[in-house]
Amino acid sequence: MILPRSFYARDTITVARELLGKEIVHRGDAGVTSGIIVETEAYPGGEDLASHSAAGITDRTRVIFGAPGHAYVYLCYGMYWCLNFVVEREGAPGCVLIRALEPLKGMEIMRRRRPRAKSDRELANGPGKLTMALGITRRENGVDLTRGSLTVHTHGGEVPFDIAVTPRIGITKCADLPLRFVRM
C-alpha cells in the first residue's frame, strides 16, 4: 500500500520514526529498484538551524514549505544527491532525510550504479549512496510520493524492531539534538 498524504502531514519526528521499515520504490529508465528504510534524520524547521528551511523560502527550500508527501532532493558537497521527504502541513517547513536503505528489488541495477560497493550492504548504506543506487537526481526534486515513479509503501510481514536515537551526522549547527533514528 502506498503511504497516503496524511502519513506525511504530521510532526517531523513522528514521521521520521515511522518511516523506518517502509519501502521506497523507484521506477527508472533501467527498471525498478527498491529498499527498506533503516535510517532517517528529522529536520523540523523552525528553531532548528541545521534545517535548510532555516534560511527561509528560497528557490532551493520552496518545496520544504509546500504540501507534504513530496520529495526534496538537493546536491550535497557538489557531488552527491540527498533524498528527503517533505512533512508537516502545507505552509509549515519540515522534512526527513533518508540516510540508509536495505536493498530489496533491482539488486543487479543497483550494483551497476554503485560499482565501488564491495558488498550488497554497501549499495545504499549512506544518503549519497542510496540516491546513486536508486538513480535519484535533481529530476526527482518536488515529485509527489503518493503517485508516479517514486513512491513509498508499507512492507508486510515486518516484525517489531527497536529504534536507536542519536544526534544527527555531519552537521555543526544544533549538532546535539537527538533527531537521528536507526532501525535495530
Partner DNA sequence: CCGCGGATCTTCT
Partner DNA sequence: GAAGATCCGCGGA
Residues at the site binding DNA, with contacts judged by CB under 7 A:
41, 43, 50-53, 55, 58-61, 72, 74-80, 82, 84, 95, 97, 114, 116-117, 122, 126-130, 168-173
Least CB distance from residue 63 to DNA, whole Å? 11
DSSP class of 170: S
Minimum separation from the CB atom of position 129 to DNA (A): 4
C-alpha to C-alpha distance for 83 and 97, rounded to whole angstroms: 6
HEC secondary structure over 69-101: CEEEEEEECCCEEEEEEECCCCCCCCEEEEEEE
d(CA 139, CA 3): 21
**Least distance between DNA and beta carbon 112 (Å):** 13
Is the CB of 30 or the CB of 50 nearer to DNA? 50
Write b or e for each residue in 35-73: b if 16 or more Cβ atoms lie within 10 A of its Cβ, otherwise e. Answer: bbbbbbbbbbbeebebbbbbeeeeeebebbbbebbbbbb
Comparison of 158 and 175: residue with beta carbon closer to DNA? 175
Q: Dihedrals φ, ψ of 38, to 5°?
A: -120, -5
Residue closer to DNA (CB basis): 158 or 178 = 178
CB of 54 to DNA, least distance (A): 8
